[in-house]
Amino acid sequence: MERVEKVDTVALLKECGAFLEGHFLLSSGRHSDRYFQCARLLQYPGKAAEALAPVAAAIREAAGLGVFKVDAIVGPAMGGIIVAYELGRQLGLPAFFTERDDSGGMTLRRGFEVSGGMNILIAEDVVTTGKSSAECAAVLEERGACVSALACVVDRRVNQSGESGGLPLFAAAKITVSGWDAPDCPLCKRGIPFVKPGSRKFFY
Protein backbone atom coordinates (compact mmCIF):
# COMPACT_ATOMS: atom_id res chain seq x y z
CA MET A 1 0.00 0.00 0.00
CA GLU A 2 1.32 3.43 -0.94
CA ARG A 3 2.06 5.60 2.10
CA VAL A 4 1.06 9.26 1.82
CA GLU A 5 1.28 11.87 4.55
CA LYS A 6 -2.10 12.81 6.03
CA VAL A 7 -3.29 16.18 4.72
CA ASP A 8 -5.62 18.61 6.52
CA THR A 9 -7.48 19.80 3.44
CA VAL A 10 -9.86 21.99 5.44
CA ALA A 11 -6.89 23.83 6.95
CA LEU A 12 -5.44 24.33 3.46
CA LEU A 13 -8.77 25.70 2.20
CA LYS A 14 -9.02 28.16 5.09
CA GLU A 15 -5.38 29.17 4.74
CA CYS A 16 -5.99 30.11 1.09
CA GLY A 17 -9.29 31.88 1.72
CA ALA A 18 -11.12 29.14 -0.16
CA PHE A 19 -13.57 28.32 2.66
CA LEU A 20 -16.16 31.13 2.63
CA GLU A 21 -19.13 31.82 4.91
CA GLY A 22 -22.16 33.96 4.10
CA HIS A 23 -25.20 33.52 1.80
CA PHE A 24 -24.46 31.89 -1.54
CA LEU A 25 -26.40 30.85 -4.64
CA LEU A 26 -24.77 27.63 -5.82
CA SER A 27 -24.44 26.47 -9.41
CA SER A 28 -27.08 23.82 -8.61
CA GLY A 29 -29.60 26.60 -7.86
CA ARG A 30 -29.64 25.78 -4.14
CA HIS A 31 -28.66 28.24 -1.41
CA SER A 32 -26.01 27.67 1.24
CA ASP A 33 -24.29 29.40 4.17
CA ARG A 34 -20.85 28.16 3.08
CA TYR A 35 -19.03 28.11 -0.22
CA PHE A 36 -15.79 26.52 -1.35
CA GLN A 37 -13.91 28.68 -3.84
CA CYS A 38 -11.33 26.01 -4.64
CA ALA A 39 -9.72 28.23 -7.28
CA ARG A 40 -8.08 30.04 -4.37
CA LEU A 41 -6.43 26.79 -3.33
CA LEU A 42 -5.66 25.59 -6.85
CA GLN A 43 -3.84 28.83 -7.73
CA TYR A 44 -0.95 27.48 -5.65
CA PRO A 45 0.57 24.46 -7.45
CA GLY A 46 2.26 23.17 -4.31
CA LYS A 47 -0.92 23.32 -2.24
CA ALA A 48 -2.95 21.74 -5.05
CA ALA A 49 -0.45 18.90 -5.24
CA GLU A 50 -0.52 18.46 -1.46
CA ALA A 51 -4.32 18.41 -1.23
CA LEU A 52 -4.73 15.95 -4.09
CA ALA A 53 -1.85 13.59 -3.24
CA PRO A 54 -4.01 11.37 -0.98
CA VAL A 55 -6.71 11.30 -3.66
CA ALA A 56 -4.22 10.22 -6.31
CA ALA A 57 -2.83 7.57 -3.97
CA ALA A 58 -6.29 6.17 -3.25
CA ILE A 59 -7.13 6.06 -6.96
CA ARG A 60 -3.82 4.34 -7.76
CA GLU A 61 -4.41 1.76 -5.03
CA ALA A 62 -8.01 1.01 -6.11
CA ALA A 63 -6.99 0.71 -9.75
CA GLY A 64 -4.09 -1.54 -8.76
CA LEU A 65 -6.51 -3.83 -6.93
CA GLY A 66 -8.65 -4.06 -10.05
CA VAL A 67 -11.60 -2.14 -8.61
CA PHE A 68 -11.74 -0.10 -11.83
CA LYS A 69 -9.53 1.06 -14.70
CA VAL A 70 -8.47 4.60 -15.54
CA ASP A 71 -7.01 5.62 -18.91
CA ALA A 72 -7.55 9.39 -18.66
CA ILE A 73 -8.81 12.12 -16.32
CA VAL A 74 -11.50 14.54 -17.52
CA GLY A 75 -12.70 17.62 -15.64
CA PRO A 76 -15.80 19.68 -16.42
CA ALA A 77 -14.84 23.34 -16.95
CA MET A 78 -14.19 25.48 -15.12
CA GLY A 79 -13.65 23.97 -11.71
CA GLY A 80 -12.48 20.56 -12.85
CA ILE A 81 -9.73 21.67 -15.23
CA ILE A 82 -6.89 22.12 -12.73
CA VAL A 83 -8.04 19.19 -10.58
CA ALA A 84 -7.98 16.92 -13.62
CA TYR A 85 -4.57 18.21 -14.66
CA GLU A 86 -3.03 17.70 -11.21
CA LEU A 87 -4.44 14.20 -10.81
CA GLY A 88 -3.28 13.38 -14.32
CA ARG A 89 0.19 14.66 -13.47
CA GLN A 90 0.42 12.60 -10.29
CA LEU A 91 -1.00 9.47 -11.90
CA GLY A 92 0.90 9.80 -15.17
CA LEU A 93 -2.30 9.93 -17.24
CA PRO A 94 -3.61 12.30 -19.93
CA ALA A 95 -5.96 14.97 -18.60
CA PHE A 96 -8.39 17.19 -20.49
CA PHE A 97 -11.80 18.79 -20.03
CA THR A 98 -15.36 19.22 -21.22
CA GLU A 99 -16.93 22.66 -21.40
CA ARG A 100 -20.24 24.38 -22.03
CA ASP A 101 -21.26 25.67 -25.45
CA ASP A 102 -23.23 28.86 -26.07
CA SER A 103 -26.50 27.13 -25.20
CA GLY A 104 -25.17 25.91 -21.86
CA GLY A 105 -24.82 22.28 -22.91
CA MET A 106 -21.72 20.30 -21.98
CA THR A 107 -19.50 19.34 -24.90
CA LEU A 108 -16.06 18.03 -25.83
CA ARG A 109 -14.06 20.15 -28.24
CA ARG A 110 -10.58 21.73 -28.78
CA GLY A 111 -9.53 18.53 -30.50
CA PHE A 112 -9.92 16.36 -27.39
CA GLU A 113 -10.99 12.83 -28.25
CA VAL A 114 -12.08 9.69 -26.45
CA SER A 115 -12.26 6.25 -28.02
CA GLY A 116 -14.66 3.40 -27.50
CA GLY A 117 -13.89 1.49 -24.32
CA MET A 118 -11.66 4.20 -22.84
CA ASN A 119 -11.97 4.30 -19.04
CA ILE A 120 -12.42 7.82 -17.69
CA LEU A 121 -12.22 9.27 -14.18
CA ILE A 122 -14.13 12.56 -13.87
CA ALA A 123 -12.51 15.17 -11.62
CA GLU A 124 -14.16 18.24 -10.09
CA ASP A 125 -13.29 20.87 -7.52
CA VAL A 126 -16.53 20.58 -5.50
CA VAL A 127 -19.30 17.99 -5.72
CA THR A 128 -22.67 19.17 -4.39
CA THR A 129 -25.35 17.45 -6.46
CA GLY A 130 -23.12 15.74 -9.03
CA LYS A 131 -24.88 17.53 -11.90
CA SER A 132 -21.70 18.63 -13.69
CA SER A 133 -20.20 15.15 -13.38
CA ALA A 134 -23.37 13.61 -14.80
CA GLU A 135 -23.39 16.02 -17.76
CA CYS A 136 -19.70 15.36 -18.39
CA ALA A 137 -20.27 11.61 -18.17
CA ALA A 138 -23.11 11.79 -20.71
CA VAL A 139 -20.84 13.52 -23.24
CA LEU A 140 -18.09 10.93 -22.80
CA GLU A 141 -20.42 7.94 -22.87
CA GLU A 142 -22.04 9.19 -26.08
CA ARG A 143 -18.59 8.78 -27.62
CA GLY A 144 -18.19 5.23 -26.34
CA ALA A 145 -16.09 5.89 -23.25
CA CYS A 146 -16.77 4.30 -19.86
CA VAL A 147 -16.82 6.50 -16.75
CA SER A 148 -15.28 4.38 -14.01
CA ALA A 149 -14.87 6.74 -11.02
CA LEU A 150 -15.13 10.31 -9.76
CA ALA A 151 -12.79 12.52 -7.73
CA CYS A 152 -12.91 15.98 -6.18
CA VAL A 153 -11.30 18.33 -3.70
CA VAL A 154 -14.46 18.81 -1.61
CA ASP A 155 -17.40 16.42 -1.33
CA ARG A 156 -20.20 18.51 0.16
CA ARG A 157 -23.12 16.28 -0.77
CA VAL A 158 -25.83 15.84 1.83
CA ASN A 159 -25.52 12.04 1.58
CA GLN A 160 -21.81 11.29 1.52
CA SER A 161 -22.10 7.57 1.03
CA GLY A 162 -18.77 7.28 -0.80
CA GLU A 163 -20.62 6.52 -4.03
CA SER A 164 -22.08 8.81 -6.66
CA GLY A 165 -24.37 7.41 -9.30
CA GLY A 166 -23.05 3.96 -8.47
CA LEU A 167 -19.43 5.08 -9.01
CA PRO A 168 -16.62 5.32 -6.44
CA LEU A 169 -15.94 8.92 -5.41
CA PHE A 170 -12.53 9.95 -4.04
CA ALA A 171 -12.44 13.26 -2.15
CA ALA A 172 -9.67 15.22 -0.45
CA ALA A 173 -12.26 16.40 2.11
CA LYS A 174 -15.83 15.46 2.98
CA ILE A 175 -17.63 18.39 4.60
CA THR A 176 -21.30 18.58 5.61
CA VAL A 177 -22.77 21.96 4.70
CA SER A 178 -26.31 23.32 5.07
CA GLY A 179 -28.18 23.81 1.82
CA TRP A 180 -31.72 24.77 0.89
CA ASP A 181 -33.99 25.17 -2.12
CA ALA A 182 -34.61 28.88 -2.67
CA PRO A 183 -38.18 28.94 -1.21
CA ASP A 184 -36.94 27.26 1.99
CA CYS A 185 -33.78 29.31 2.51
CA PRO A 186 -33.75 30.83 6.01
CA LEU A 187 -31.17 33.41 4.94
CA CYS A 188 -33.53 34.70 2.23
CA LYS A 189 -36.34 34.87 4.79
CA ARG A 190 -34.09 37.03 6.99
CA GLY A 191 -33.52 39.38 4.05
CA ILE A 192 -29.82 38.58 3.69
CA PRO A 193 -28.78 39.10 0.06
CA PHE A 194 -26.96 36.25 -1.65
CA VAL A 195 -23.94 36.26 -3.89
CA LYS A 196 -23.33 33.88 -6.80
CA PRO A 197 -19.62 33.05 -6.82
CA GLY A 198 -19.77 30.11 -9.26
CA SER A 199 -19.00 30.20 -12.98
CA ARG A 200 -22.04 28.37 -14.36
CA LYS A 201 -24.70 30.43 -16.09
CA PHE A 202 -28.36 29.73 -15.45
CA PHE A 203 -30.46 28.91 -18.52
CA TYR A 204 -34.23 29.15 -18.13
The pLDDT tens digits of the residues spanning 40-59 come to 999 999 999 999 999 999 99
Q: How many CB atoms lie within 10 A of CB 201?
A: 9
The pairing of strands 19-25 and 119-127 is unpaired
Percent of the chain with pLDDT over 90: 74
Local structure of 151: helix, strand or coil? strand
The span from the CA of 130 to the CA of 136, in Å, is 10
Domain extent listing, the chain: 9-189
Of the candidate ranges 32-36, 124-128, 154-158, 182-186, the one whose mean pLDDT is the lowest:
154-158
Class of domain 9-189: alpha beta
The span from the CA of 134 to the CA of 78, in Å, is 15
Which burial class, exposed, middle or buried, applies to 39 when counting CB atoms under 10 A from its CB (0-12, 13-18, 19+)?
middle
Measured in degrees and rounded to the nearest 5, phi and psi for residue 77 equal -70, 145
* pLDDT reading at 71 higher than 50: yes
| Pick from 199, 82, 76: nearest CA to 137 | 76
Beta strands in the chain (DSSP E): 19-25, 31-36, 72-76, 95-100, 106-107, 119-127, 146-155, 163-164, 167-174, 179-180
Strand order in the sheet with 179-180: 19-25, 31-36, 179-180
**Mean model confidence pLDDT for the chain:** 90
